Amino acid sequence: MILKRHSLATKLFVAFLCTSIFVILVMMGLIGYQMRSGFSSYLLRVELQTFDDLAKSIAKAHQDEALWLRLKEDPRRWHDLVRGSLGPRQPEDNRPLPPAFESATNGKSDPRPPKRPLQRPLQRPGPPQRPGVDPLMLGQRLALLTPAGNYWAGARLAQGSYLSRTVHAGDDAASGPVIAQLALASPSDGRSARDEQFLYQQFRALFWVCLLAVGLSALAAYLLARGLVTPIRSLVRGAQALSDGDYKTRLIGTGKDEIGQLTADFNLLAESLEAAEKAERQWMSDASHELKTPLAILKGRIEGLQDGVYETNAALLAEMHATVERLNRLVGDLNALSHLREGRLACHFQPEDVSVLLREVVDHSAGRFEEKGLALTLKLDASQRLLLVCDRGRLRQMLDNLLENARRYTDAPGVVEVTARLDEQEEALIVTIEDSAPCPDGQHIGRLFERFYRADPSRARQSGGTGLGLAICRAIVEAHDGQIEATRSVLGGLLVRVTLPLDGDMIQEEVGDA
């Protein structure tokens, strides 16, 4: 709850630092535990290695079957064997220090009082050892086991509380078959003071290492949090700039990671918004210009009639009627294009035979093509039924616009060819409309489907075009999840290729009919 009032950088820093500290503490605990248990095992192994003489004595005793059995039956035999092999031992920390000594000076004793024996830190000299005393408590820690690990002599040790070494037959007790095991447990009173001092030094070193690791983790957490938050802050500032309408805002890329990809996507978004704003301004400008021209013509003719400049006749009325029709077509095209782009145009998709639709469109347009001196032909494969799930009305609107565009911009005498075929590999219906000369320049072909774009504006207005016909065609094709493109035609003019995807059921039906 407290972190909710802090910045993202603080939250990330605290999260990274707390995670690092937790991991370090867990590692420190595991290392400390392993160090304590491992150090105890190490001391036992070292102590076991000092029992070579005892192992040789056990090997010799094993050669005498009676003695071997007495080791098991009489504990004193085992204790005598251990004391005879190891001799009197004292803990290393309780070994007596050398007494004070006299210095020889001209054969006389040193008149100075004897020095006190030096005492080791954290150690106390043990009391004088009496014969038979076991300072190392081997009677409670040392046991003789069979090769299988069963008890034979010595102390009774709990399973898993000791380490053992094997005893081999032979004089060296190291090369023959295994005859027994020596098991040794840790002292009941714990480690010696010197061992504790050693562990204390190790833990102190481990503490400083962990403290250094925490400091480095804090520095790494700060740098990482800063590295993550800095580009995010830039994104926030950029988003605020976009919301204020500054679409020229761009961010500097920070790499190829997710933040860098997000920055690149932000720049793409800013570019698209800037382009959309320019297109919207251009749209308003072009629409206003296109509407202004016929309105100006009508206004001039009506004012001329009011002032008596023009006389009412059939020619003037026909001109005004044509201007109104052009204005009506322009308004209709603008309305259709806006609906298509906003996805609000209602489309009713159902299976249609496109070959029948193409014949209707071509037959309806043939008369106007003949009046201009153009030959309109349709090429279809009679063996194929061009079934397609589509909106018949919108598809006819697209075909009418494409044919009208070819009629307007093809010089007479000329040829316009319409072809349609099924491409089973692409699973699509392909319709092409190509005409004879002239052909737009290469720099214009790629922009023919833009709104209000004209390769030759003056010629387009003379022919009655609004500059929206091909843009509407592209919107209709995209509504059918298709593609439309324009290239040069082998006839010398323009070729428009429309690719409409087929429904899978339609493809199977076509294959069955074939």
pLDDT of residue 434: 92
pTM for the predicted model, two decimal places:
0.45
pLDDT of residue 457: 52
- Choosing among 1.10.3470, 1.10.1760, 1.20.1300, 1.10.287, the CATH entry for 258-339 is 1.10.287
pLDDT of residue 340: 60
pLDDT of residue 514: 39
Query: pLDDT tens, position by position, for the chain (514 residues)?
Result: 455 566 677 777 788 888 888 888 888 788 777 776 677 777 778 888 888 888 888 888 888 888 888 888 888 888 888 888 776 554 444 434 333 333 333 444 444 444 444 444 444 444 444 444 555 667 778 888 888 888 888 888 887 778 888 888 876 666 778 888 888 887 765 555 666 677 777 778 888 888 888 888 888 888 887 777 777 888 888 888 888 888 888 888 766 777 788 888 888 888 888 887 887 777 677 677 667 767 887 888 888 888 888 888 888 888 888 788 778 877 776 777 676 655 555 678 889 888 899 999 899 888 889 888 999 999 988 777 788 888 888 888 889 889 988 888 888 889 999 999 888 787 899 999 999 888 887 777 877 877 666 665 544 445 545 567 788 888 888 888 899 999 988 888 899 999 999 874 444 444 344 3
Which residues share a beta bridge with 436? Answer: 492
Query: Angle at Cα 151 formed by Cα 146 and Cα 155, nearest 5°?
Result: 125
Chain-centroid distance of CA 436 in Å reads: 53
- Residue 114, φ and ψ in degrees, nearest 5: -65, 145
Chain-centroid distance of CA 258 in Å reads: 7
pLDDT of residue 176: 79
Could you tell me the two tokens for 60?
Answer: 């010799």
> In this structure, which amino acid lies at residue 414?
G
> In this structure, which amino acid lies at residue 344?
R
Asked if residue 466 lies in contact with residue 451, where contact means CB atoms within 8 angstroms, the answer is no
Torsion angle, alpha carbons of 65, 66, 71, 72, to 10:
80
Could you tell me the two tokens for 304?
Answer: 């001329």
- Looking at the chain, the domain(s) classified CATH 3.30.565.10 span 349-513
- Looking at the chain, the domain(s) classified CATH 1.10.287 span 258-339
Chain-centroid distance of CA 292 in Å reads: 54
Query: Angle at Cα 511 formed by Cα 505 and Cα 514, nearest 5°?
Result: 140
Asked if residue 54 lies in contact with residue 85, where contact means CB atoms within 8 angstroms, the answer is yes
Query: Angle at Cα 121 formed by Cα 117 and Cα 124, nearest 5°?
Result: 65
Asked if residue 164 lies in contact with residue 150, where contact means CB atoms within 8 angstroms, the answer is no
> In this structure, which amino acid lies at residue 234?
S
- Residue 312, φ and ψ in degrees, nearest 5: -70, 115
Fold classification of 349-513 (topology level): Heat Shock Protein 90 (3.30.565)
